Structure 1
Amino acid sequence: MEFNVVNHQLCVDNININGVASASLFLIGDVQTVQLASAFDTPPESLIIQPLSLVPKV
């Protein structure tokens, strides 16, 4: 995926952060490259795989 943003003029006066998740990115300013990655850390024995059940329309 390629996501291009052009900020011609950026002025930040105040920032309020009420909470931060375990996977979060907070960035103000310019950056050439941002690379994000994630890992699935749940043990294999807790993973439940079953056939897909479709929910009928009401």
Structure 2
Amino acid sequence: MEFNVTNCGLHVGNIEVLGVASASLFLIGDADTIQLSSAFDTPAESLIIGALVPFTPQG
């Protein structure tokens, strides 16, 4: 997949993160190259999908 974005005068005032996935990318700014990969070597029968854990900010 090729995804091109052109930002002119990017200004970030406030960011509120409500949750984070087990595999995620959070980026503000410029990046020449982003390469994401994933590997899953656990047998499917041992996969347990449970409730999501809420993200609670510290502070």
TM (norm. structure 1) is: 0.69
Q: Which residue of 2 aligns with 1:39?
A: 39
Q: Which residue of 2 aligns with 1:54?
A: none
1: CA distance, partners of 2:3 / 2:28: 16
Q: Mark the runs of 5 or more structure 1 residues left unpaired by the alignment.
A: 48-58
TM (norm. structure 2) is: 0.68
Q: Mark the runs of 5 or more structure 2 residues left unpaired by the alignment.
A: 47-59
Larger Rg: 1
| One-letter amino acid of the structure 1 residue matched with residue 39 of structure 2 | A
Q: Which runs of 4+ in 1 moved over 6 A?
A: none
- RMSD (CA atoms): 1.7
What do the CA deviations read for 1:11-58 (whole angstroms, capped 9, x no partner)? 0010000111110000000000000001123315x28xxxxxxxxxxx
